[in-house]
Amino acid sequence: MRIEEKFKQLKEKKEGALIAYICAGDPTPQATKEYVTALVRGGADIIELGLPFSDPVADGPTIQAGIQRALDGGMTPDVYFRTISSLKLHIPLVVMTYYNLIFKRGLEKFAKDCAASGISGMIVPDLPPEESDELQQVCKENEIDLIYLVAPTTTEERMNQILKEGAGFIYLVARLGVTGARSDVAGSTRELIKRVKTTTPRAVGFGISNGKQASEIIRAGADGVIVGSAFVDIIAKGEDVPVRLEALARELKDGVKGQQ
Amino acid sequence: MTLKLESKFGKYGGQFVPEVLMPALVELTEYYEKYKDDAVFNDELNHYLRDFAGRPSPLYFAKRLSREYGVKIYLKREDLIHGGAHKLNNTLGQGLLAKYMGKKRIIAETGAGQHGTACAMAGAAFDIKTEVYMGAKDTVRQRMNVYRMELMGTKVIPVKSGSQTLKDAINEAMRDWVANVETTHYMIGSVVGPHPFPTMVRDFQSVIGKEVRTQILEKEGRFPDSIVACTGGGSNAMGIFHPFIEEDVDLFAVEAGGSGMKTTEKEALHSATLCTGEDGILHGMRTKVLQNKYGQILESSSIAAGLDYAGVGPELAYLADIGRLKPCNSMDSEALLAFHDLCRFEGIIPALESSHAVAYVKRAAASGELGDIVVINISGRGDKDLETVMGMRK
Ligand SMILES: Cc1ncc(COP(=O)(O)O)c(C=O)c1O
């Protein structure tokens, strides 16, 4: 399913989107299938599946540890696409990874593998628009949305350029720093939501961990929230993982529905 | 109108960083373009280079080593620079720029601890709070340097993620920078990272090669036939090579051959990136990288912590591709022998990093490949390595 279509459905229902991240293969490829199913049951609207890279500079300690578990568990791009192809989801699936893994596989092949395994979006945190012409082209040819990030430090000039090129949704980085769960909503987040003026859906990520934050962010005007570290924390603890993933997804989904 | 800096070297270089950092790179580039040829900035920098760092460093004719190796050898004595390595040339330049930019805090990564030490010196000299990320393994290998940094008021933060060496220290420093970009300058220690670092660090290190131009003309009335420098990230190499790029001088970048040219899925027994690496993206730049077939970065290896890096500066990757420099390598064992040669024949204790360059000259001199006159960049002194060398003798 294309991302745009999902946001359209949600808009009709007047709901915000819950975009749930976990790292594929954390701790095994088999577990990932089970966990994705749990997240979908809990109400996730879009699944963002990390393809683990050895040197994840945009990630904080929680997700770094998840990535390490996945690499230790034998996750590779080949295994990744095989795992994903067997998921058969009815909601959009987005790959999040670092540019070297895409570059090494070959941009064309990577995009084709994505399309063939049902992926409809790509997030590449170390690829700013300045360097992304080639990937952008290949993504368009394969009907995949290349999702761009904007940050509180993004200048007006760059913002305009990014908004022109961004597809699927715009990923608003809620605060300076790397990924990791926090309990509050930063003032800079509200300000950023106001600054990003576009018809493309806007989803806020980095630091969201509970339903209350999620609903505040939707009330501040965002179209969706992206939650990662809070889910990865549950996987790290390793107790009743599917049940607890589903419960947290439900809490967050209630938050973005405005029922918190 | 200042000239726009080159942001790419052929296909290499660029800015592959999280969006949060892009404005900081733009800002840094603007400041660097503004001050790089500014008279006041350069007067101040030259003052520090002369009176604090001890420049110019001598170019020394190594008589006994020349006789032993069978080629006329000059040593560029960066080991005599304050702190014991070429690293201070860069940190004084970037430190002064950080001061002009009004940054309140400096962060850096360090491998051997040489760059960290040079940061600590610059931080103290310019009165800017300094924090250095260092792989936990390296803090053990190089504990004297940790203490030196602490003496000068720098906080050393051990990095426990990944392989706990230089590459992980860079990752962690970049994460810190992402979180504190508005107040903090990231003082990268070599000609690596996103633009403008490779160009800027090269320019600050070019003082080495500029001095060699004058010094060798005084002594020989001509340029050398070849210049040999060890290469980790490549800053001492680019520093001595750059002023000779347009000249008829052969350039040799000597990487760490470690214990052999073998690699597995996860690690390389060496750090010979120019020799064996493949096109990739690491730490904000496109360059040659030690990686497996999927693009996962390998853990590199070398007896010299300062050469132990899975990437290399993008300009070196470009110069290697077009044939302007020759990538080569020396193994741990060869570097150790050369280390002892320089100690015994010349009374100079070189860094293990620099010993790789000496080792290559030892091997290549006989073939005539180096010509008649060769300059070796002795990028640092070996005091920091004494424990390692003593350990090898046992
Ligand atoms: C003495 C010495 N030489 C060489 C290097 C390698 O760095 P580069 O290749 O940037 O000169 C280091 C790095 O720490 C060093 O300490």
Q: Is B236 in the pocket of ligand 1 (CB under 6 A)?
A: yes
CA of B149 relative to ligand 1 center, distance in Å: 17
How far from B167 is each of B143, B193, B287, CA to CA, in Å?
18, 11, 14
Nearest to A126 among B18, B180, B294 (CB): B18
Rounded CA-CA distance A129/A126 in Å is 10
Alpha helices in chain A (DSSP H): 3-12, 29-42, 61-72, 77-85, 99-105, 107-116, 133-141, 156-165, 187-195, 211-219, 229-237, 241-257
Contact B358, B376 (CB under 8 A): yes
Residues of A forming the active site: 48, 59
pLDDT of B4 reads 59
Query: Regarding predicted confidence, which is higher, A189 or A47?
Result: A47
d(CA B178, nearest CA chain A) in Å: 5
Across the interface, whether the CB atoms of A126 and B293 are under 8 A apart is answered: no
In the block, residue with structure tokens 């067997």: A86
Residue A18 within any structural domain of the chain: yes
CATH number, position B216: 3.40.50.1100
Residue B6 within any structural domain of the chain: no
Query: Regarding predicted confidence, which is higher, B155 or B394?
Result: B155
How far from A217 is each of A176, A177, A256, CA to CA, in Å?
17, 18, 8
Instruction: Tell which residue, A100, A124, A135, A132, has the closest CA to residue B311.
Output: A100
Query: Could you please report the per-residue DSSP string of B174-198?
Result: HHHHHHHTTTEEE---SS-SSTTHH
In which domain, by residue range, is A208 found? 3-249
* Domain final position from B164, B183, B201: B201
| B147 lies in the same domain as B245 | no
Residue B296 within any structural domain of the chain: yes
Residue A242 within any structural domain of the chain: yes
Across the interface, whether the CB atoms of B19 and A54 are under 8 A apart is answered: no
Residue A126 within any structural domain of the chain: yes
Query: Is the pLDDT reported for residue B202 higher than 60?
Result: yes
Across the interface, whether the CB atoms of A153 and B171 are under 8 A apart is answered: no
pLDDT of A259 reads 67
d(CA A38, nearest CA chain B) in Å: 29
pLDDT of B29 reads 96
pLDDT tens digits, one per residue of A110-169: 999 999 999 999 999 999 999 999 999 999 999 999 999 999 999 999 999 999 999 999
Side-chain-side CA neighbours of residue B167 (13 Å): 25
d(CA B24, nearest CA chain A) in Å: 8
Rounded CA-CA distance B352/B230 in Å is 10
Instruction: Tell which residue, B236, B252, B226, has the closest CA to residue B307.
Output: B236
Give the model's confidence band at A260: pLDDT under 50 very low, under 70 low, under 90 confident, else very high.
low
Residue B3 within any structural domain of the chain: no
| B132 lies in the same domain as B78 | no
B12: nearest CA in chain A?
A: A131
Residues B4-13: what's their mean pLDDT? Answer: 87
| B112 lies in the same domain as B66 | no
Number of domains in chain A: 1
Query: Is the pLDDT reported for residue B261 higher than 90?
Result: yes
Nearest to A153 among B15, B174, B181 (CB): B181
Q: Is B90 in the pocket of ligand 1 (CB under 6 A)?
A: no
Residue B9 within any structural domain of the chain: no
Query: Regarding predicted confidence, which is higher, A237 or A188?
Result: A237
Q: Is B243 in the pocket of ligand 1 (CB under 6 A)?
A: no
Query: Is the pLDDT reported for residue B48 higher than 60?
Result: yes
Residues of B forming the active site: 87, 109, 379
| B341 lies in the same domain as B194 | no
| B191 lies in the same domain as B217 | no
| B68 lies in the same domain as B99 | no
Supply B370's token pair. Answer: 């180096």
| B28 lies in the same domain as B67 | no
pLDDT tens digits, one per residue of B358-391: 999 999 998 999 999 999 999 999 999 998 999 9
pLDDT of A15 reads 96
pLDDT tens digits, one per residue of A203-241: 999 889 999 999 999 999 999 999 999 999 999 999 999
| N-to-C CA span, chain A | 28
pLDDT tens digits, one per residue of A76-88: 999 999 999 999 8
The complex's ipTM? 0.95
Residue B2 within any structural domain of the chain: no
* Domain final position from B201, B233, B261: B201
Residue A152 within any structural domain of the chain: yes
3-state secondary structure A51-93: CCCCCCCCCCHHHHHHHHHHHHCCCCHHHHHHHHHCCCCCCCE
Give the model's confidence band at B143: pLDDT under 50 very low, under 70 low, under 90 confident, else very high.
confident
- Cβ-based contacts under 8 A for chains A and B: 116
Instruction: Tell which residue, B37, B189, B43, has the closest CA to residue B116.
Output: B189
Instruction: Tell which residue, B7, B217, B181, has the closest CA to residue B98.
Output: B181
| B161 lies in the same domain as B227 | no
Which residues of chain B does A58 touch, with a Cβ-Cβ cutoff of 8 Å? 18, 175, 178
Lowest mean pLDDT among A246-260, B112-126, B191-205: A246-260
Residue A254 within any structural domain of the chain: no
Rounded CA-CA distance B101/B96 in Å is 9
Query: Is the pLDDT reported for residue A13 higher than 90?
Result: yes
pLDDT of B3 reads 46
Residues B115-130: what's their mean pLDDT? Answer: 98
Contact A104, B291 (CB under 8 A): yes
Say whether residue A132 is in contact with chain B using an 8 A CB cutoff.
no
pLDDT of B1 reads 33
In which domain, by residue range, is B232 found? 56-84+206-391
Number of domains in chain B: 2
Q: Is B111 in the pocket of ligand 1 (CB under 6 A)?
A: yes
* Domain final position from B173, B201, B229: B201
| B258 lies in the same domain as B297 | yes
Share above pLDDT 70 across residues of chain B, in percent, rounded to a whole number: 99
CATH number, position A65: 3.20.20.70
Lowest mean pLDDT among A204-213, A230-239, B247-256, B275-284: A204-213
Give the model's confidence band at B281: pLDDT under 50 very low, under 70 low, under 90 confident, else very high.
very high
